Amino acid sequence: MLRITVAVVVVLFAAGPVYAQLDQLIRGLPGALSSPAGQGLTDGKIASGLKEALQVASGKAVDLTGATDGYFRNQAIKILMPEQLRSLESGLRTVGLGSQVDSFVLNMNRAAERAAPAARQIFGDAVGEMTIDDGRKILNGGDTAATDYFKTKTSGRLTQAFRPVIERSMNEVDLTRQYKELVGLAQGIPFLKTENVDLDRYVTGKALGGLFQVVGEQERMIRTNPTARATDLLKEVFGSVTR
């Protein structure tokens, strides 16, 4: 996606924040826009296109995961019963208590969906913090190199932003109470064993993992699929780039 020229892209990421003084930097590159890939594009459009690609990928991921059923109906990221409680889940379903388990799973996913919009600003801030080293890694990386950058730079901040939202959401739907009820039901079944699980931590971790997975999918599509370039700017910039 980003093979406009190595020189153009590396300079875009130089000297501190990625988008500072982009026009001045690009203008100093002889022939930077003379290749067929960049012909007809202004300096500003190339810079804006690179920025917009990252914003679109992360923004689309937030929109998808933050919608109702964004986690629950996406089998790739749906939050399931914690591994420690899988035997409990099977046992409860065996004795006809599957509806209680289903409600519990649904509410874990609803909590993640409510938290997802908090990622938008954090991803935006991370784009502005890119350095030359970050740019080189993304340039030389694979189809999800930008996603890997986001994961490294934002996981801590996202955890801090997600957890309070998830805790509030879980309280609103009495998820902790549901969990205790499930454990109580299991304790009345001789062959079932139960373990304590930090639900807030579990749901937060799964929510972040799912979000990054969808960001990666969106990044990969923008790099490889012209139909995923949702704006005129992306179509113009990346339509002239060959992989």
Q: Is the pLDDT of residue 70 over 80?
A: yes
Q: What is the pLDDT of residue 100?
A: 86
Q: What is the pLDDT of residue 240?
A: 58
Write b or e for each residue in 21-49: b if 16 or more Cβ atoms lie within 10 A of its Cβ, otherwise e.
Answer: ebeebbeeeeebbeeebbeebebebbbbb
- How confident is the prediction for the chain on average, in pLDDT? 76
Instruction: Estimate the crossing angle of helix 132-140 against helix 145-172, to 10 degrees.
Output: 100
Q: Which residue has the higher pLDDT, 224 or 40?
A: 224
Q: What DSSP designation does 85 have?
A: G
Q: What is the pLDDT of residue 227?
A: 80
Considering the entire predicted model, what is its pTM? Answer: 0.73
Q: What is the pLDDT of residue 71?
A: 98
Phi, psi of 200 (to 5 degrees): -60, -45
Any idea which of 43-57, 80-94, 133-147 has the lowest mean pLDDT?
A: 43-57
DSSP, collapsed to helix, strand or coil, labels residue 101 as helix
Distance from C-alpha of 5 to C-alpha of 24, rounded to nearest angstrom: 17
Distance from C-alpha of 186 to C-alpha of 209, rounded to nearest angstrom: 29
Q: Which alpha helices (H) appear in the chain, and where do they start and end?
A: 6-12, 22-27, 43-66, 86-94, 98-115, 119-128, 132-140, 145-172, 175-187, 199-224, 232-239
- List pLDDT tens digits, range 94-142: 888 888 889 989 999 999 999 999 999 999 998 888 776 676 666 667 7
Burial of 143 (0-12, 13-18, 19+ CB in 10 A): middle
Closest by Cα among 20, 224, 53, 227 to 147:
53
Q: If you write DSSP's letter for every residue of 172-203 in order, what string do you get?
A: HTTHHHHHHHHHHHHHTSTT-------HHHHH
What is the band of 151 on the pLDDT scale with cuts at 50, 70, 90? very high
Q: What is the pLDDT of residue 107?
A: 92
126 contacts 153 by C-beta, under 8 angstroms? yes
Q: Which residue has the higher pLDDT, 204 or 180?
A: 204
Sequence-separated (6 or more) residues with CB below 8 Å from residue 217:
61
Q: Which residue has the higher pLDDT, 1 or 184?
A: 184
Any idea which of 38-47, 171-180, 208-217, 226-235 has the lowest mean pLDDT?
A: 38-47
Closest by Cα among 71, 18, 31 to 207:
71
